[in-house]
Structure 1
Amino acid sequence: MSDPARTHYFVTRRIGIDAGHRIMQHGSKCRHIHGHRYEVEATCRALRVHQGGEQDGMVLDFGFLKQEMMDVIDACCDHGFIAQAEDTALLEMFVPEGRDLSVWLAPLAAAVKADGFALTTDTRLGTKLYLLPTAPTAEELARHWYLRLRQRVAERSDGLAVLDRIRVWETPNCWAEYGE
């Protein structure tokens, strides 16, 4: 028999994005520039559902969770390139024409250090570039998006729900997950 004090509700929302990346230190083919159709799942948990109000009977409205995921993940990364801020060989391809790499990269690196990421479209082709302090592996993306979404879930659920985990599908057969 289950312990009611440990019983939880779980809700999950999935979105898909297309993004390029490379793992600069990888010993095999992932060191090359390539892309994925990422599927990202956010799972929230709560001990109870809302009683009354707009989210009556819900842990967190699926529409609210989708909106937060779209703001944090889709708007920043879909149809963009995700890179490690230290991958200067790769980043040389993104530097706008006639600009110095170190000058262009300095404010982006400062944002990565301060905020854990940087987003810019000030690139050679005007494409989205999302920089991380770590290699953009599925594991690190799961952790990064978890940390960015955690507080938003708490706020959108009026403190009722917590973000349990983020699962990042890199292929239909491979996923990584992060939760606390």
Structure 2
Amino acid sequence: MYEAKPQVEHEWLHKLIGEWVFAGRMEMGPGQPQEESTGAERFTGLGDFWVRSEGHGTTPDGVPATWSFTLGYDPRREKYVGTWLGSMMPHMFVYEGARDPSGAVLTLDAEGPAMDDDNKTARYQDIVEFVDDDHWVLRSQMLGEDGTWMQFMTTDYRRATTAD
């Protein structure tokens, strides 16, 4: 077994560690009203190499939901890797991605059920962008049949503050 040492990519992930509250907006389709969701998510470290979360909130249609997210960096593949699964669906998303040259934006690619047909799959991207240490934004988009990315969700995460 090789001796693993944390790298700068692992340290970057640790910016997620903590308690977060979020407010999200989702586009349900052309001509349909924008829907909103709220909730909280707690990220913890799993050693020096991984972060994981447990989140809870409501779906845009008001149904309570819980989910779990894992994220790490694989130095052999030079890719961020992870998973996301939630109580609202039987599919586990498997991520692979990279940060942009600025280092502030992580784009994670995944495949999952198409929104308009459970019998089809679609390509998705979840894009994590740190605004500052206490604010990050998650943007989700899907690759359309015409080859263009269509953003359907934006979620603002803010570090939860505790009362003294």
Q: What TM-score comes out, normalization by structure 2 length?
A: 0.30
Structure showing greater relative contact order (alpha-carbon pairs closer than 8 Å, 6 or more residues apart): 1
Higher strand share: 2
Q: What TM-score comes out, normalization by structure 1 length?
A: 0.28
Bigger radius of gyration, 1 or 2? 1
